[in-house]
Amino acid sequence: MAQPTHERVDSPDASTVFEYHDLTPPTTADIYRARQTLHDHLPRTPLVRSEWLSAEYHADIYLKREDTLPTGSFKIRGVTTLLANLDEEFRDRGVVTASTGNYGRALAQAARWFDTEAIVAVPEGTGQNRIDGIERLGGRVKVVGDDYDDSADWAAKIAAEEGYRYVHPGNERLVIAGTGTAGLEIAESLPEVDAVLGPVGAGSIGAGYSLSVGAVTDAKVIGAQAASVDTAYRAWQTGDLVPQEEADTFADGIAARVPYALPVQVMREELDGMYTVSEEAIVETVAAMFREEHILMEGACAPPFAVLDDFREDITGKTVAIPVTGRNLPTAKVERVMASR
């Protein structure tokens, strides 16, 4: 029997979208609904005071330990929210996405929970431990393309030709809503929070936290991105969704060279600020977090920690929360961190 296919539609950015991609920004109410969806699948993650960072910056700095979630990354929140609401047509057929590891691992886990197939395209050079992690959870991996966006093009092509549901890297309102549930947890545990700093790649944290903790507390929500892959930063400043040609960064989990319309729209309306950090600062920050906190985090986690010096005077005496977004650092990068610590 021929599989149903779906039409691609005109995209407001340089990525592929289909008619089922709802580009209406989620609301804070959507994030509360997502929390109800996730209640039976995911635990609440710890919010732990960092004595080292608090002493260093004369502030109360808390770590939101998203790395303790199943699959080791915050991305399981958004993907589970999406798959919990998947149309039966797609549940019968399956889902496909592109990933450098964490999004794919989350998709494989959620697909197993909801009894559907998951195909994950990863670029050449993806760490074998990340591929193994996806496959252990039942995902089918296809290695294709030089970088993440090449893999995304392949995944969209398969979705168009074979009827899989394309799980977009950024333009998924339910993924943003699910990601934002961590912000609600911060607000409930730490209602006096003054600032929340988060990493920005595709933009689900920048958008989701702005609509959650940023909406229900007086906290400012600040995004931070790798300077070498700063398309979202530039789009946040100007509104122009212009991709860059390459995406080479130690923080490969936030290495999207295409800015995505939906999260950029939310961030331009709701995010209080965004900054970029150098490659050197990213590696040094990962090494310092391991040395001082004994947390081996991914490069994608590092930018918000690396920009703390820019806020030193502003955060003195204040309460700050920063998510540790993932723990799945490839072996080669672990070795580089160990050499620099």
Full-prediction pTM beyond 0.75?
Answer: yes
Count of C-beta atoms within a 10 Å radius of residue 76: 26
Q: Per-residue pLDDT for the chain (341 aa), expressed as one digit of tens each?
A: 456 678 899 999 999 999 999 999 999 999 999 999 999 999 999 999 999 999 999 999 999 999 999 999 999 999 999 999 999 999 999 999 999 889 999 999 999 999 999 999 998 988 888 899 999 999 999 999 988 878 999 999 999 999 999 999 999 999 999 999 999 999 999 999 999 999 999 999 999 999 999 999 999 999 999 999 999 999 999 999 999 988 788 888 888 889 999 999 999 999 999 999 999 999 999 999 999 999 999 999 999 999 999 999 999 999 999 999 999 887 788 888 888 76
CA distance 114 to 219: 35
CATH code for the structural domain at 28-74+173-340: 3.40.50.1100
| CA neighbor of 311 nearest in space, from 192, 218, 195 | 195
Give residue limits of the domains in the chain.
Answer: 28-74+173-340, 76-166
* Phi (first) and psi of residue 273, to 5 degrees: 180, 160
User: Domain 76-166, what fold?
Assistant: Rossmann fold (3.40.50)
Predicted local confidence at residue 1, as pLDDT? 42
CA distance 71 to 54: 29
| CA neighbor of 332 nearest in space, from 277, 252, 247 | 252
Give me the helices (H) in the chain, please: 28-38, 51-57, 75-84, 88-93, 102-113, 128-136, 148-162, 173-189, 204-211, 213-216, 231-238, 261-270, 279-293, 302-306, 312-315, 331-340
- Would you state the torsion angle of the CA atoms of residues 85, 184, 113, 23, taken in this order, to the nearest 10 degrees? 30
| Residue at 26: amino acid letter | P
Indicate the SS3 state at residue 225.
Answer: strand
Number of residues that this document lists for the chain: 341
What DSSP assignment string belongs to 168-212?
A: -SS--HHHHHHHHHHHHHHHHH-TT--EEEEE-SSSHHHHHHHHT
Predicted local confidence at residue 339, as pLDDT? 81
Question: Is 182 buried (19+), middle (13-18) or exposed (0-12) by CB count in 10 A?
Answer: buried
Q: Which two tokens stand for residue 178?
A: 């699910």
| Residue at 236: amino acid letter | W
Do 28-74+173-340 and 76-166 have matching folds?
A: yes
CA distance 289 to 285: 6
